[in-house]
Amino acid sequence: MTEIFGIPTQALAGQLLIGLINGAFYAMLSLGLAVIFGLLNIINFTHGAQYMMGAFAAWLLLSKLGIGYWWSLLIAPVALGAFGVLIERTMLSRLYKLDHLYGLLLTFGLALVLQGLFQNEYGSSGQPYRLPQEFAGAFDLGFMMLPRYRAWVVVASLIVCLTTWYVIERTKLGSYLRAATENPTVVQAFGVNVPRMITLTYGFGVGLAALAGVMAAPIYQVSPQMGANLIIVVFAVVVIGGMGSIGGAILTGFGLGVIEGLTKVFYPEASNTVIFVIMVIVLLIRPAGLFGKER
Amino acid sequence: MADAAIARESTTAPMLAVRGLNAWYGESHILHGVDFDVARGEVVTLLGRNGAGKTTTLKSIMGIVPRREGSIVFEGRETIRMSSNRIAQSGIAWCPEERGIFASLDVEENLMLPPVVGEGGLPVAQIFELFPNLRERLHSPGTKLSGGEQQMLAIGRILRTGARLLLLDEPTEGLAPVIVQQIGRTIAKLKERGFTILLVEQNFRFAATVADRHYVMEHGRIIDMIPNEALGASMGKLHDYLGV
């Protein structure tokens, strides 16, 4: 058996793949957080709960209505996006003129309430989500087996991330978003309905979390805590990448997933802490994050 | 003929009529009943010392002062309760004192950012004729331009939109004399093209070269109106008002 640094290539590739999968979710979630923070100046602690609700939406659609994975990919983000719009209009929009802390408290409280409601209804044990038929089986890459669904998750999340990046950094719509992130007053005085843009941006960010949730459903157990467990790491990813940087969020998401995977191979004891160690180092050297700007 | 039509229209109804305008920032009461008119096709300045309320007057017209009362009628429509995006859509454009150029947008994106709100905006080619520097720097980040170029960008981008009333807040502040002259020539050209301009200025020598009339502000009120022809005769008075 071939080895690299005394590690069987198969184990190395396997952990790299797990790292890439985790990284795909880190990237999609931190992307949504970065977009929301950029325009709303709100640290959306409800993001994990919204991701969890996306997974639950997929599970409910399948088990109660018999609606499958592909439709869930569309329905769950749209429904949760609408839910986000409702939250923004009724609650968040009252907080923009106040200190950051209020937005953090509100979204954190909301996350606890939502998790509590789901736990009350469905218990804390996870619900399995049946893998769609099309994804049964694996590709034989020679040195390892690559399950079809995992390959799909990595490719799909890359497409989602790059499309979002392109829209924000390279289109007219994105230029409104970037400009309003810098100076909403001037953008609104040009005739752009900035409050509506803010509402839709929050809805989009929440929809992105829900989409990640649907994609996660067949891999992880669908449980009320699934978001809470993940979101802590995602916040570390956002801090490392730099608040408000779109490309930074994507690169750091995938990069840290892979680093975490490699740590599992080379020094398993540190695999749960490596991201936080990196966060501490980055904060000491570059307080604004790797790709962030001081603001 | 066209001049006569403009004159007749301006005697019947001003393009912009401000009456009893009061404005507050939090607890501080900045404007105490501002009254003035701007006729279509005019260039009018607001002169006054620092803190007299000139910038706040522009911001109130633009709808971005949190609390304002009184009446602002633009082309026959009351705008005092409108949000700033609706005011912009009705045909008023604002060039802020701090210029409001976006660092995360390049020059071209900055220039193309303001949405078109009506017909009759300048084609981009003509904006480049007015400000040739912009064409050469299209792909630089907006804030990498010199102060003068940023000012040209801030003015240029609102000429595209078809807005008919331009609010320019100290466009010459901190700029070299040669650039001040270029901006002066630009304002004259814009007037020829039928734009109406309300200009806030500290520099009344510059104002005298471009404007038809001058309103003098003090302590949040208009205290005098001086036609440009009478400016020479009013120099003594003006020196008192402005403390220069």
pLDDT in tens, chain A (295 residues): 566 677 777 778 888 888 999 999 999 999 999 899 888 888 899 999 999 999 999 999 998 999 999 999 999 999 999 999 999 999 999 998 888 889 999 999 999 999 999 999 998 888 889 888 888 888 887 777 888 898 899 999 999 999 999 999 999 999 999 999 999 999 999 999 999 999 999 999 999 999 999 999 999 889 999 999 899 899 999 889 887 678 888 999 999 999 999 898 888 888 889 999 999 999 999 888 888 776 5
Query: What is the ipTM score, two decimals?
Result: 0.90
CATH number of domain containing B129:
3.40.50.300
Per-residue pLDDT reduced to its tens digit, B89-136:
999 999 999 999 999 999 999 999 999 999 989 999 999 999 998 999
Mutate to test the interface with B, among A190, A199, A246, A291 (most CBs of B within 10 A): A190
Asked if B100's CB is within 8 angstroms of A186's CB, the reply is: yes
* B224-237 mean pLDDT: 89
Q: Which of the residue ranges A41-50, B209-218, B233-242 would you say has the lowest mean pLDDT?
A: B233-242
pLDDT of residue B1: 42
Per-residue pLDDT reduced to its tens digit, B165-198:
999 999 999 899 999 999 999 999 999 999 999 9
Does the pLDDT of residue B7 top 60, yes or no? no
Going along B39-193, which residue ranges are E strands?
43-48, 67-74, 77-78, 92-95, 165-169
B91 to chain A: closest CA residue: A191
Are A272 and A32 contacting, i.e. CB atoms less than 8 angstroms apart? no
Asked if A192's CB is within 8 angstroms of B85's CB, the reply is: yes
CA distance A195 to chain B (A): 10
* B133-160 mean pLDDT: 92
Domain count of chain B? Answer: 1
The secondary structure element, H or E, covering residue B186 is helix B177-192
pLDDT of residue B11: 54
Percent of chain B with pLDDT over 70: 95
Chain A to chain B, count of Cβ pairs less than 8 Å apart? 60
* A195: chain B residues, CB-CB within 8 Å: 83
Encoded tokens for B98: 């701090």
pLDDT of residue A144: 77
Asked if A185's CB is within 8 angstroms of B84's CB, the reply is: yes
Query: CB B154: neighbour CB atoms within 10 A?
Result: 24
Best CA proximity match to B187, nearest among B197, B202, B176, B172 = B197
pLDDT of residue A38: 85
CA distance A64 to chain B (A): 45
Going along B85-201, which residue ranges are E strands?
92-95, 165-169, 196-201
Mutate to test the interface with B, among A93, A173, A175, A196 (most CBs of B within 10 A): A175
What is the spatial order of strands in the sheet that B196-201 belongs to? Answer: B92-95, B165-169, B196-201, B43-48, B213-218, B221-227
- Domain of B24 in residue numbering reads as 2-242
Does the pLDDT of residue B9 top 50, yes or no? no
Going along chain B, which residue ranges are E strands?
16-25, 28-38, 43-48, 67-74, 77-78, 92-95, 165-169, 196-201, 213-218, 221-227
Does the pLDDT of residue B5 top 60, yes or no? no
CA distance B175 to chain A (A): 22
Encoded tokens for A178: 């970037």
Does the pLDDT of residue B240 top 80, yes or no? yes
The secondary structure element, H or E, covering residue A8 is strand A7-8
What are the residues whose beta carbons fall under 8 Å from the beta carbon of A97, sequence distance 6 or more?
Answer: none
Going along A77-194, which residue ranges are E strands?
138-140, 145-147
Pairing of strands B43-48, B16-25: unpaired
The answer to whether residue A178 neighbours chain B at the CB level (below 8 Å) is yes
- Three-class SS state of B231: coil
The answer to whether residue A181 neighbours chain B at the CB level (below 8 Å) is yes
The domains found in chain A, sorted by start residue, are 3-123+141-285 (1.10.3470)
Residue type, B44: V
